[in-house]
């Protein structure tokens, strides 16, 4: 069986846990999951969705071309566009430079 710890040892353990927790928090880098381009693409998708619903309301004809064909296609496309906008992750400058360097190295040389 283990001996019960005295108050000084308990206090030392708590302080040690606090310092290790603080070092873990400081090592985390908090960045936004989406970039400016992502929010722009999402805004475009939302604008198309709003425009589709407005077109359906303006058409006011249940059997019309706009209500039955055009707006549903626009809505499906806009929702797919928003999913793409959320998942879109552009290459950073470092990745662009390294990929172009790799392409140049692997490209056949003209003779």
pLDDT tens for each residue of 73-111: 999 999 999 999 999 987 776 666 665 556 656 666 665
CA distances from 91 to 12, 16, 29, 35 (A): 47, 41, 19, 11
Residue 110 located in a structural domain: no
Residue 105 located in a structural domain: no
Number of residues assigned to the chain: 111
**Model pLDDT for residues 20-41, shown as the tens digit of each residue:** 554 555 567 788 888 999 999 9
pLDDT of 2: 56
Residue 41 located in a structural domain: yes
Per the structure, the complete domain to which residue 37 belongs is given by 33-89
| Number of structural domains the chain divides into | 1
Q: Which residues contact 49 (CB under 8 A, 6 or more apart)?
A: 74, 75, 78, 79
Residue 60 located in a structural domain: yes
Cα–Cα distance, 49 to 42 (Å, whole number) = 11
Residue 18 located in a structural domain: no
Residue 53 located in a structural domain: yes
Residue 16 located in a structural domain: no
């Amino acid at each position: 069986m283990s001996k019960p710890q005295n108050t000084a040892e308990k206090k030392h353990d708590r302080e040690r846990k606090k310092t290790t927790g603080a070092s873990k928090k400081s090592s985390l880098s908090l960045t936004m999951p989406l970039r400016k381009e992502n929010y722009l693409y999402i805004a475009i998708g939302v604008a198309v969705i709003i425009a589709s619903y407005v077109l359906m309301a303006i058409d006011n004809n249940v059997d019309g071309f706009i209500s039955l064909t055009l707006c549903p296609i626009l809505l499906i496309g806009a929702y797919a566009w928003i999913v793409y906008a959320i998942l879109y992750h552009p290459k950073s400058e470092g990745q662009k430079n390294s990929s172009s360097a790799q392409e140049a190295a692997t490209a056949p040389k003209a003779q």
